[in-house]
């Protein structure tokens, strides 16, 4: 009741004079950790002046915010069994050093109509591909698990989720990643949200539900002389999932197709299968996914897999997970390689002097315990680690602090929360989650 009254107050403040919005709710999710972060010694990196030097490991205390957010949502019965609804959600960084600006409607935000025929909505939302994470991601305390690190190759290149090209809203340059919506923070990784999109979710029948999403080609671009189409990016994502035995058994599969994202005229694609089984004394989740990025001169294939486990103990649970991102397979004609470069033109990364860029996989594992004081508040603690190969730079979403502290002249760390190549981040932490 208090949430609805607060929502009504917010709605009244937002509405024009004399207009009232009913059934509006303010909600949110605050997820924060404090702990000791460690970066191991990286493979190598360069300092201003061109010399190549080794860097030792470093440990730092830090406070982190894991996808904290807040929003407003509402529903209205419009007759004939139909319900109109909306949701506007944004991120809440909660600590200034994570370099994330508060952007209205940066998270799941849409408007739609729902009935016994299903749910139709338009806006920005997690893809059907992404929604399957709920079927298996039960092995994480706080936000330090495989879903925010290497599953989907989420942080392989920091700001550029696709490791095969640059990311940025600079369409229609041929070969650019995610020319559609990268600038809006939704990126090219397969699990992320999609903006400018149309969604449909079927009703659940005998435990089965279908989901479909189409991202429009609003980024279609032509040349200035003659109107020749040089990029027509769009994407679609579809999934089917089933739950049975009272929800104890669940399984889902998804397929994505991303047209003109990595290379104009080509379509990246991927598929995944996730699921789990709650035995009562233990809940186990599994995930497997494979992706093909269409680079200019060849295919680049990536695959990831993982397992999550939750063992209930009283009002809490021991949670753990293990996941692997295999090396990206494939070769194409890349840029000229610097002297001493291995794997020039490989799919894994741009050529880097002295690094074997084909060695770009990683492993991650975490273990911890969380205790639910109530439906809203959970407190936990744990340990999480990522083992990066020589050319890999995996980390967790929004993971500060920077490894080098932003030291002058350092060029090896191009993105604030991305490790140097080959460095292994790890963290001991305590975590508090509150939902409202």
Residue 239 belongs to a domain with what CATH number?
A: 2.40.160.10
138 Cα distance to chain centroid: 16
Distances (CA, A) of 176 to 68, 264, 415: 30, 8, 18
Question: 148 φ, ψ to 5°?
Answer: -105, 20
The enclosing H or E element of 120 equals: strand 118-126
Confidence check: pLDDT of 406 > 60: no
Range(s) of the domain holding residue 163: 2-435
Q: State residue 232's pLDDT score.
A: 82
Q: State residue 136's pLDDT score.
A: 97
Q: State residue 28's pLDDT score.
A: 96
Separation of alpha carbons 159 and 176, rounded Å? 13
Structural domain count, the chain? 1
Which of 11-25, 155-169, 249-263, 306-320 shows the lowest per-residue confidence on average (mean pLDDT)?
155-169
Question: 337 φ, ψ to 5°?
Answer: -90, 140
Label residues 46-64 b or e (16+ Cβ within 10 Å = b): bbeeeeeeebeebeeebeb
Confidence check: pLDDT of 414 > 60: no
Which of 112-121, 224-233, 234-243 shows the lowest per-residue confidence on average (mean pLDDT)?
224-233
Where is pLDDT greater, at 43 or 8? 43
Separation of alpha carbons 181 and 171, rounded Å? 9
Q: State residue 17's pLDDT score.
A: 46
Q: State residue 24's pLDDT score.
A: 92
Where is pLDDT greater, at 6 or 48? 6
User: Is 401 strand, coil or helix?
Assistant: coil
Q: Which residues pair with 308 in a beta bridge?
A: 285, 321
Summarised one tens digit per residue, pLDDT across range 127-172 is: 999 999 999 999 999 889 999 888 877 654 444 445 544 433 333 3
Which among 115, 121, 45, 42 has a CA at the least distance from the CA of 80?
115
Separation of alpha carbons 387 and 394, rounded Å? 8
Contact residues for 275 (Cβ-Cβ < 8 A; gap 6+): 135, 136, 249, 250, 251, 252, 285, 286
**Inter-residue contact 266 to 140 (CB < 8 Å):** no
Where is pLDDT greater, at 42 or 79? 79
Confidence check: pLDDT of 341 > 80: no
Other C-beta atoms closer than 10 Å to the C-beta of 351 total 18
Confidence check: pLDDT of 350 > 80: no
Which of 73-87, 244-258, 259-273, 305-319 shows the lowest per-residue confidence on average (mean pLDDT)?
259-273
Summarised one tens digit per residue, pLDDT across range 369-404 is: 999 999 999 999 999 999 998 878 888 876 766 777
Separation of alpha carbons 43 and 387, rounded Å? 12
What integer best gives the mean pLDDT of the chain? Answer: 79
Which of 109-123, 282-296, 331-345 shows the lowest per-residue confidence on average (mean pLDDT)?
331-345
Separation of alpha carbons 413 and 49, rounded Å? 15
Summarised one tens digit per residue, pLDDT across range 173-228 is: 333 444 433 333 334 567 678 888 999 999 999 999 999 999 888 877 777 666 77
Q: State residue 176's pLDDT score.
A: 41
């Amino acid at each position: 009741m208090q949430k609805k009254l607060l929502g009504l107050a917010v709605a009244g403040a937002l509405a024009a004079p004399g207009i009232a919005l009913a059934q509006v709710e303010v909600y949110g999710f605050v997820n924060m950790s404090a702990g000791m972060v460690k970066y191991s010694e990286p493979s190598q990196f360069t300092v201003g002046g061109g010399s190549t030097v080794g860097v030792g490991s470093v440990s730092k205390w830090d406070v982190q915010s894991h996808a904290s957010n807040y929003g407003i949502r509402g529903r209205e019965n419009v007759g004939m069994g139909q319900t109109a609804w909306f949701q506007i959600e944004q991120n809440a960084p909660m600590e200034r050093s994570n370099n994330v600006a508060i952007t209205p409607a940066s998270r799941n935000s849409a408007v739609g109509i729902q009935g016994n025929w299903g749910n139709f909505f338009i806006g920005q939302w997690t893809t059907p591909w992404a929604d399957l994470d709920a079927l298996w991601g039960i092995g994480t305390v706080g936000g330090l698990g495989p879903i925010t690190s290497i599953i989907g190759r989420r942080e392989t290149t920091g700001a550029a989720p696709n490791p095969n090209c640059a990311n940025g809203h600079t369409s229609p340059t041929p070969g650019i990643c995610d020319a559609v919506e990268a600038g809006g923070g939704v990126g090219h990784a397969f699990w992320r949200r999609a903006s400018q999109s149309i969604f449909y979710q079927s009703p659940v029948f005998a435990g089965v539900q279908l989901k479909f999403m189409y991202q429009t080609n609003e980024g279609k671009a032509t040349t200035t002389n003659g109107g020749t189409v040089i990029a027509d990016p769009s994407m679609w994502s579809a999934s089917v999932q089933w739950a049975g035995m009272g929800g104890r058994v669940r399984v889902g599969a998804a397929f994505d197709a991303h047209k003109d994202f990595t290379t104009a005229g080509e379509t990246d694609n991927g598929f995944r299968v996730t699921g789990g089984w709650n035995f009562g004394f233990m809940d186990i989740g599994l995930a497997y996914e494979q992706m093909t990025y269409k680079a200019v001169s060849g295919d680049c294939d990536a695959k990831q897999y993982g397992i999550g486990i939750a063992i209930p103990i009283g009002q809490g649970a021991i949670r753990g997970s293990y996941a692997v991102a295999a090396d990206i397979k494939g070769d194409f004609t890349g840029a000229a390689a610097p002297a001493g470069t291995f794997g020039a033109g490989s799919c894994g990364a741009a050529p880097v002097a002295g690094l074997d860029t084909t060695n770009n996989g990683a492993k991650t594992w975490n273990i911890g315990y969380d205790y639910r004081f109530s439906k809203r508040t959970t407190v936990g603690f744990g340990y999480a680690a990522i083992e990066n190969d020589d050319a890999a730079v995996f980390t967790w979403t929004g993971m500060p602090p920077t490894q080098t502290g932003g030291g002058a002249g350092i060029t090896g760390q191009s993105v604030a929360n991305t490790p140097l190549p080959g460095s292994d981040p790890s963290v001991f932490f305590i975590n508090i989650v509150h939902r409202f």
